[in-house]
Amino acid sequence: MAVAGEVVGHSSLLGRSSLLPDPKILKMEQTSGLCFSMPVLFPAKQGRLPSRSLRVMRPPVATISEEVLSLVVGKPAKIKVRAVVTVRRKSKEDFRDAVANQLDALSDKIGRNVVFELISTESNSKTKAPKKSGEAVIKDWYEKMKIKGERAVYTVDFTVDSGFGEPGAVAVANRHQREFFLESIVVEGFASGAVHFLCNSWVQSTKNLPSKRVFFSNKSYLPWETPEGLKELREKELMELRGDGKGLRRISDRIYDYDIYNDLGNPDKGKELTRPNLGGEKLPYPRRCRTGRLPTDTNLLCESRIEKPHPVYVPRDEAFEELKQDAFSAGRLKAVLHNLIPSLIASFSADDYDFQCFHDIDNLYKEGLLLKLGIQGHLLHKIPLVKKLHESSHGLLRYDTPSILSKDKFAWLRDDELGRQAVAGINPINVERVQVFPPVSKLDPDHYGPPESSLTEAHIAGHLNGMSVHQAMEEGKLFMIDHHDTYLPFVDRINALDGRKTYATRTIFFLSPLGTLRPVAIELTLPPEIVGGERRSRVLTPPCDATTSWLWQLGKAHVCANDCGVHQLVNHWLRTHACIEPFILAAHRRLSSMHPIFRLLHPHMRYTLEINALARQSLINAGGVIEACFTPGPLCMEISAEYYRRHWRFDQEGLPADLIRRGVAVEDSSQPHGLRLLIPDYPYANDGLLIWSAIEHWVNIYTTHYYPNATSILSDTELQSWYSESINSGHADLRHSHWWPPLSTPTDLSSILTTLIWLSSAQHAALNFGQYPLGGYVPNRPPLMRRLLPDDKDATFIADPHRYFLSAIPNVLQATKFMAVVDTLSTHSPDEEYIGGIREAAWTAEEEVLEGYKEFAAEMERIEEEIRRRNGDSGRRNRCGAGVLPYELLLPSSGPGVTARGVPNSISI
C-alpha cells in the first residue's frame, strides 16, 4: 500500500499533469506486481535569468518513495524516469537551415534521431564501469519543429534498474544533419529528486563528432570527490578539450590550445603588411587560441589569414550567441556605413580633407556624415551611391552626440578637464605620484641619451600655490602621466611614417586644494639625433598670451594622443583582453566543467575568446583599424609587446596593488579597504575599491567553502594544473619571473581569482565603455597627431593657429573611421550579463554559496546607489559641478547601447 499512499499524497499533481497515467491504471499495475514510477514534469522556463535577478528554480518534488524501488526482495525492479530536454531554436533561418531541418525531419522518421543515455554517479561493482541506462530517443522532434517559439521542449523516457543510483551525466548523440543548441536537461523520477543539467552548448552531428557528447549535472565536485561512475568521463572530457595540438581546427571543434600571435601580418599581400610575430624571446607576449591554419606562402613562420566575413576559429561554445551576433553585426553595419563614404571619397581624390573649422566637426552629429562639410560638390556626382545611402540609412550616417559635449561644449579646452579625465576618464590608470624630480628615464642612456628630464623647478615653481617643489612632493601634491619611456624608443620610426608625428611626453599635475588636478608642465621629447647624444626636449607651461595658449593646446593634444595609444594598446587590449585569454584557455583545458572553480570563473569567460579573435582579424592586424587610427600605425603591437616585456606583472594587476605601485595610495588599516588615497576625489579608484572589495568578499566565501586549508589547495591536481599551465604555457615568455604569486593556501587562491574577476569585469568596463562618450569628439582626445609643434615664429602658425591645430589632429577620413569603431566598442549587447546578476545554476545546490552570492548581488545594488549619491555630492569636483560629467563607468548595471555605464561579467566587446 506504499504506492497507494504516494498516489493519495499527490492527487493534486495527478489532476494537473496530462503526462501521468490514469490512477485506475496505476492501481491495476500495483496489484499485478508491476512498478511504475510517477515522474512529475515541471517544464520550468530554462535559459538565462534576467540581469540582476535572483530567482531560484524550485526543484520538482519526487513522486515516488524509497519503498517502491523494489517490490521483490533481492530482485532489482525496473523504474521509469523522464528527461525534459530544452533546445533553443535559431530566430533566423537561412535556406540551408531550412533544407537541413527538412532532412532532419526525414531522418528522424527513419530512426536517425537524437539519442540520450543516462550515466550514474555509481559504477558497477563487478565491471567497475559506470552504470548506464539504455538509449532513449526524442520521439516528437519532427512534430515540434512546426511549433513556433524561441525554445522547444521535448521529453525522453528511460527505464533503469532501481539500483541505478543518481544520474551524474547524460550522453547525447546527434544523428541529424546539423548541430543544435542544447540548453538544459532535467531528469525527474528518481527518489533523490530532480537532477538538473545546464548545458548551453552546441551538440554536433555524429558526422562531425562520432563520439557522444557528455554533460555533467549541476552538482560540483572537487577532483577527489568525483563519484566512481564519473571519474573516467571527467578525465576523458578534459583530454578531448585539450586536443593534440595538430591540424586545422574546424568551426565545429571544441578544442582549446595555445599559439603565438603569428597571424597579424599578411606578407602574401605585400611587404608593407609584414609584421613581426609576437610571442617568444624577441617580442614576448601572452598566447592566444590556436587555429592551426596553414602558413603564408612567403613566410612559413606566419599563419595565413582569414578575412571577413569568414569566421576565425574559436571553440564552438565560445562563439557569440545569436542575439549577441545580431547586435554586433548591427554595430558593424553602422561602422561600415560610417566608413564607406569617407573611403569612397578618398578613392576619388588625393585631398586629405582636413576639418576647415570646428563647426565641421559639430556637423557630424547634426547634419550627417560628410554631407555638410563642403566636400561633396562634384564628387557626389561621381558617387551617387552616397546620396542613396543617406536617403535610406535612417540616420545611420549621423553620429550620436558624445557625452563630453552634453554638459559643456568647450570643456575639452579647460586645463582642469585634462586633469579630471586623468582620474575620471577612459584611461584613469596611468596617473602616478611624482617621487623624484626631475623625473628620470629608465631607458639605456647609451642609446637614448642622459636619463634626466629637461623639466626644472623653475618651470613649475610658480604654479604650486606658493609651495616649493620639495614641499609639494612631500605633501603628495605632485602627480604625473609619464609616457616618455613607452614612446621614446619608437619616436623616430613613427615620425618617419607619412602623416604621423609624435613626441615622448610627460605631464606634471598639481593637486589643488579643491581636489582637482591642474597641469603645470608638459615635456615633449625627441630622441638624440645621433646615438648617445642629447635628447631634444621642449617644455611647455600654462600659457600667458595667445601664442603660448595655442602651443599649449597643441602640447595637450600630443599628450592626449599618446595617452590614447597607451590606453588602447596597453591598458585596454594587453592588460585585459590579451592577458586574460591564457587563463581562459587553461581553465577549459585543466578544470573540469564540474569543478567549482571553473563554475566560479565561467560567467567571467563568456565571449572573450570570440571578441579577441575578431580583434586579431580586423582591429589589431596589419592595416587594421588600430593601425589606421592611432599614432604608432604599424608599430602599435610592438609598443604593446614592449610594455608586456618591461612592465606587466600579474601580482600588480589587482586594484589595490596597482594603486600602491603608482604611489596614488598607501596602506592604512584605519581606512576603508585598507588604503588611503592621496587623491581623495579619484572617481575610478573610489568606485573601483567598492567593487573590488565586494568581489574579494564573495570569492572568499566561495573558496573557503570548498578549500578549508592549504592541504586541500595543494592536493587539487586540476587547480594546480590550471594555474601552472596559465603561467608556463599561456604566459610562457614570463614564466621564470619571480613575481608570480604562489598557489599554496586558500588566501592565495582567493587573491588570484579576485584579480582575474576584477580584470574581466570592472577593470575592462572602466577602460572600454567610455570610449565613444569621451573620445567620440576627436579634439578632446585625438587618437593620432599629424604635425609636430611649430616654432613660435612659424608663419603659417602665426597667421592661422586655428587652421594649424585642425591640420595637426586627424583629418575627416581618419576621425570618422575612429569614431565609427569606438562607437561599436562602447556598445552593450542586449544579452549582456552584468556583475551581480545571473549566477551559475550549480550555486543553488550549496546553501552557503547561494547565500554568499545573494549578499554579493545585494552589495552591487548598494554600490549602484552609493555611486549615484557620490555623483550628486558637490564636494566631489571631479564628478559633480557645472559642466562636469558624472562618473558612471563603474555603475554595475546598464541597458543596451552606448550608455557610458555598466559592468559586464566578462570581456565581451
Q: So which residues are the catalytic ones?
A: 572, 577, 764, 768, 909
In whole angstroms, what is the distance from residue 672 CA to residue 652 CA? 20
Give bridge partners of residue 213 from the DSSP assignment: 172
In degrees, rounded to 5, the angle at the alpha carbon of residue 466 between the alpha carbons of residues 464 and 472 is: 50
- Are 605 and 587 spatial neighbours (Cβ–Cβ below 8 Å)? yes
* d(C-alpha 778, C-alpha 809), whole Å: 8
Q: How many CA atoms lie within 13 A of 138 on its CB side?
A: 30
Nearest-angstrom CA–CA distance, 690 and 692: 6
Q: What are phi and psi of 372, to 5 degrees?
A: -125, 25
- Angle (CA) 390 394 399, round 5°: 80
Instruction: Check: CB of residue 627 under 8 Å from CB of residue 635.
Output: no
Cell (9 digits) for 318: 565560445
Q: Which amino acid is at 481?
A: I
Three cell numbers, residue 348: 576619388
Q: Provide the grid cell at 452.
A: 634626466
Tell me how far CA of residue 243 lies from CA of 169, 235, 291, 589, 606, in angstroms: 22, 13, 12, 9, 21
Query: Rounded to an integer, what distance in angstroms lies between the CA atom of residue 167 and that of residue 188?
Result: 10
| Cβ–Cβ under 8 Å, residues 256 and 298 | no
Residue with cell 557528455: 214
Whether the Cβ atoms of residue 136 and residue 114 lie closer than 8 Å to each other? no
Handedness of CA 729, 738, 708, 58 (dihedral sign): negative
Cα 198–chain centre separation: 22
- Comparing CA positions, the residue from 907, 590, 615 lying closest to residue 769 is 907
Q: Cα dist. 386→361, 390, 779, 824 in Å?
A: 19, 6, 26, 22
Q: Cell 545546490 sits at which residue?
A: 845
**Do the bridges between strand 504-511 and strand 130-132 make them parallel or antiparallel, or are there none, so unpaired?**
unpaired
Burial, 748: exposed, middle or buried (Cβ in 10 Å; 0-12, 13-18, 19+)?
Answer: middle
> Rounded distance, CA 745 to CA 115, Å?
44
CA separation for the pair 555, 502 (Å, rounded): 10
Cβ proximity of 420 and 681 under 8 Å: no
Cite the beta strand spans of 580-738 per DSSP E: 665-667, 675-677
Q: Maximum distance among all alpha carbons in the chain? A: 109
Q: Where are the alpha helices (DSSP H) in 10-94?
A: 11-16, 23-31
C-alpha cell at 844: 543553488
d(CA 221, CA 240): 20
E strands, 146-260, in order: 151-161, 167-174, 180-188, 195-203, 213-216, 258-259
CA distance 324 to 544: 52
Cis omega before residue 528 (within 30°)? Answer: no
| Look-up of cell digits 587553461 | 586
Q: Which three cell numbers stand for residue 136?
A: 532513449
Q: Classify residue 729 by burial, with Cβ atoms within 10 Å: 0-12, 13-18, 19+.
A: middle
**Residue type present at position 408:** D
Phi and psi dihedrals of 464, rounded to 5?
Answer: -115, 30
